[in-house]
Amino acid sequence: MSDQILLERNGDIVTITLNRPDVGNLMTNEMGAMLASMLDSASEAKLVVLRGAGKDFCLGRDLAPPDPRSAPTALGVRKGNTEPALKTYAAFRRNTVPVLGVVTGGAIGFGCAIAGICDLTFAADDARFQLPEMNHGIPPCLAMSALVDRVPRKAIMDMVYSTDEFDARRALAIGLVSRVVAAKDLQREVDRFVAGVAARSTATLLAVKEYMRSAPTMEPQAAADFASNLLSNVVSSRR
C-alpha cells in the first residue's frame, strides 16, 4: 500500500504523488486515508504539492464491488463509500499548510473534487475534468461538498447535471483551477512557483492560508477584524 502514494520532503516543500499510473491513479479508501494522514503530517512544511504519476491526475475512486448476496444498506454505504471520501476532504480543509494541485490528463469524479479542493491548482492545457456520477444513477453530493465553497453554484449544477467533460480553460473560467499552462511548460511553472513560496516566511504563508480558511464564512466586519489580528500578529512577531 505504501507505494501507492508517495511522500517526498525537500526542505520546506512536501510532494505527495498518487502512484497507480496503470489505472489512472484510481483512489481506494485505504489510499484516501493515507493521503489524509500525509496531509496531517505536513504541518511543518511551507507548501504541499499534490500530483499524479503517469499521464492522469486521478480518474476517480476504486471501491470494492457491492456484495451480490445482500442489498446495500444506508449504514453500509456510509461506512464503505461516503465516510472515507469525506474524511479525505476534511484533511484538506483542516490542513494549515497551502496545498498546490498539479493536474495533468484526467481529473474525473473524486479526482475533479480533490483538484478543486486544493488551495491552488495548476493544470496542463490538455487536462480534462468531469463529474460523471449521474450517468451511473449516483448523485455526486460528496464531490459537490468538496467544491461548494470553491466553485460557483451554477457552474457546479452544470457540471453535475450535464456530466460533460470539459477542458482546462473551462476549469479556469469557473474557478476550479488557478492557472492553465502549456503541458510542456507545466513543470517549469510549478518549479518557479514553488521556489517563490519556499523563499517566503512560514508565518506569512500560514496566515494567508488561515485567513482563507476562515474569513469566507464570517460577517464582513468579523473578517476585517480577523485580517487585522493576523497581520498584527505576523508583523509584531518579526525580529
Per-residue pLDDT at 7: 97
Tell me if 45 sits within 8 A of 9, measured CB to CB. yes
Residue 1 has pLDDT above 60, yes or no: no
Mean pLDDT of the region 189-198: 97
> What rounded mean pLDDT belongs to the chain?
94
Per-residue pLDDT at 232: 94
Tell me if 24 sits within 8 A of 58, measured CB to CB. yes
- How many C-beta atoms surround the C-beta of residue 168 within 10 A? 25
Alpha-carbon distance 18 to 111, whole Å? 11
Residue 208 C-alpha cell reads as 494567508
Work out the pLDDT band at 73, boundaries 50, 70, 90. confident
Residue 178's identity, in one-letter code, is S
Mean pLDDT of the region 114-119: 98
Closest CA to 103 of 178, 51, 32, 25: 51
Mean pLDDT of the region 181-185: 98
Residue 131 C-alpha cell reads as 463529474
Mean pLDDT of the region 219-234: 95
For the chain, give the percent of residues with pLDDT over 70.
96
Work out the pLDDT band at 67, boundaries 50, 70, 90. low
What is this structure's pTM?
0.92
Q: Is 121 helix (H, G, I), strand (E, B) or coil?
A: strand
Alpha helix ranges (H) inside the chain = 29-41, 74-77, 83-94, 110-117, 141-147, 153-162, 168-173, 186-198, 202-214, 220-236
Mean pLDDT of the region 143-161: 96
Tell me if 48 sits within 8 A of 14, measured CB to CB. yes
Per-residue pLDDT at 66: 66
Q: Which residue has the cell 505536513?
A: 42
Residue 72 has pLDDT above 90, yes or no: no
Task: Give the least confident one: 65-79, 83-97, 202-216.
Answer: 65-79
Per-residue pLDDT at 82: 82
Per-residue pLDDT at 70: 72
Q: What would the pLDDT profile of 9-48 be if each residue is shown by its tens digit?
A: 999 999 999 999 999 999 999 999 999 999 999 999 999 9
